[in-house]
Amino acid sequence: MFRGAMALAERIMGRVFGFLGTIVTMAIGMYIYSLQVKTLTPGAGSGNPEEVATIAGVKNDLIGIANAERGYLATQGKYASLDELISGNYISIKGERPPYIYDVEITSGSFRATATRTTKGAPAQLWITESMEVQASD
């Protein structure tokens, strides 16, 4: 009788700890997600949907440029300028998404694709490197 009760209690405790572990893991994930969203959200509490859509588009464009750089590196053995990527049909985007303009800085072993805002607003710059992580300035 006592063994049966202990086995039941152990199963229940195992499930409780498993459930609590899942909740803690989800909370940590949501916290990290909220930090990433804050870096790419327009500043000053701007809830303008058009602004949010523009920033999301710029972020996607930067990821596209970074993927094109990876493809160019694989085929040509070096990184390329934005004009080379466009003329080689590695990307189909233009050099801008108003109010942002794009630029790619390359060295022998790295690149940095930058989107710079031409008007007032936040973020002033977004960029991506070979690490494939989009970052934003204030």
| The predicted structure's pLDDT at residue 104 | 96
CA 57 remoteness from chain centre: 12
Mean pLDDT confidence for 101-115: 95
Mean pLDDT confidence for 66-89: 94
Q: How far apart are CA 10 and CA 4, in angstroms?
A: 10
Q: Mean pLDDT for the chain?
A: 88
Give the 3-state secondary structure percentages of the chain, helix then strand then coil, rounded to 5: 55, 15, 30
pLDDT exceeds cutoff 70 at 42: no
